[in-house]
Amino acid sequence: MTRMKTFTERAAEALDQLPEEMREPMVAYIFEQAEKYRVLKRQIDEGLADIDAGRVREWDFADFLRRAKLDVPQSFK
In this prediction, residue 1 carries a pLDDT of 61
Residue 28 belongs to domain spanning: 24-76
Q: Looking at the domain assignment, is residue 4 inside a domain?
A: no
Half-sphere exposure of 76 (CA within 13 A, CB side): 6
In a domain, 6, yes or no: no
Task: Measure the N-to-C terminal CA separation of the chain; round to a whole number of Å.
Answer: 75
Tens of pLDDT along the chain (77 residues) come to 667 889 999 999 999 999 999 999 999 999 999 999 999 999 999 999 999 999 998 889 999 999 888 877 766 55
In a domain, 31, yes or no: yes
CA atoms within 13 A on the CB side of 59: 3
Structural domain tally of the chain? 1
pTM above 0.75, yes or no: no
